[in-house]
Amino acid sequence: MSRFVGHPGDESRVRIAHGEELGNESEPMSAHVEAYAECLAQLRDIQSMRALFTDAPIVPASEALLAAALERRARQERVLLAHDSPSAVPAASPAWKRLAPLAIAATVAIAAFALWPRSETPSVATSTRTADSSIEPKAPPPPTSDNPLGALSPWPLAAYAQSASDVLEVPYPAITTFDTTAVKSGTRTYVQSSASSYHDYMPIGAEAIELRDTTYKGVRIWRVVTSSPCSSRKP
C-alpha cells in the first residue's frame, strides 16, 4: 500500500470522478482509494450520482418556445447576455472605447475637486464684495417665473444651487424649480451655475455668500451681504 494521504473529502472525490489532476497527490490518492473499501465506495457513490444526472434524459424544449423567441427578435427585442467563460474571447474594443471610462472618471474627479467646499479656507479669495448691513437694502426685483432667483442673485442670469454639501446629489434643481425656501441666513458656500434650454444646471464656480433676509411689502426677500469666490473657475 502506498503512503497514507488521508481520506479524500467530497471535493477530492469529485475531482477524481471528473478525472481532474490532483497534482502530487494523484498517485497516492488513487492507491489510497483502491486500498480503502469505504473510500472506494464513496468515490463510486459520487460517480454514480454524477452519472445519474448526466445520463438523465434531457427536457424537450417546445416549438412554442422557439416561436416566442423568434417573435421577440422580429419585434426588435434584444437581451443583453453576460458571458465571461474562459472559452469566450471578447472582441477587442476600439481604443477610444477602452479610454472612455478613464476619461469619465477624470472628468468626475476634476468636477468634484472644483466643487469641493472651501468656505473655511478659501484658496482663491480674489475679491470680497461687502455691503453695509446697516443700510436698508435696495429693494430687489420681485421673483418672476422667468427669473425666480432675481431676489437672490446679483447676476440675473446666474443661479445658486443648494449649499455645497448638497450639490453632489443629482439631479440638480433646475432654475425654474429652485426652492428659495431652502436658502438660509448666514454664510454658506453656494455653487454658481447657469442654465439654458440644453442644460438645467451648469456649475461655473463656488462662492461663500452671506445672506440676510428681510421683509419687503409683506414678502420675504433675501439680500447678499458679502460674496467671496472660493473657486478659480469664476467666469
Footprint of other proteins (CB under 8 A): 9-11, 14, 17-18, 45-46, 48-50, 52-54, 56-61, 65-66, 68-70, 72-74, 77-85, 87-91
Of the pair 82, 102, the CB lying nearest other proteins is at: 82
Instruction: Give least dist CB 2 to other proteins, A.
Output: 25
Instruction: Give least dist CB 199 to other proteins, A.
Output: 33
Residues constituting the chain: 235
Cell of residue 114, nine digits: 472644483
Instruction: Give least dist CB 173 to other proteins, A.
Output: 33
How many angstroms separate the CA atoms of 217 and 213, rounded? 13
Instruction: Give least dist CB 21 to other proteins, A.
Output: 12
Q: What kind and span of H or E run contains 208?
A: strand 202-216
> For residue 212, what are the β-bridge partners?
223
Of the pair 59, 170, the CB lying nearest other proteins is at: 59
Of the pair 18, 129, the CB lying nearest other proteins is at: 18
Instruction: Give least dist CB 191 to other proteins, A.
Output: 38
Of the pair 69, 174, the CB lying nearest other proteins is at: 69
SS3 159: strand
Of the pair 89, 135, the CB lying nearest other proteins is at: 89
Of the pair 74, 95, the CB lying nearest other proteins is at: 74
Cell numbers 420681485 correspond to what residue?
A: 142
How many angstroms separate the CA atoms of 188 and 181, rounded? 15
**Listed residue (155, 151, 164, 170) closest to 211, CA to CA:** 151
Cell of residue 78, nine digits: 434584444
How many angstroms separate the CA atoms of 108 and 212, rounded? 33
Instruction: Give least dist CB 177 to other proteins, A.
Output: 34
Check if the beta carbon of residue 116 is closer than 8 Å to that of residue 230.
no
Check if the beta carbon of residue 13 is closer than 8 Å to that of residue 46.
yes
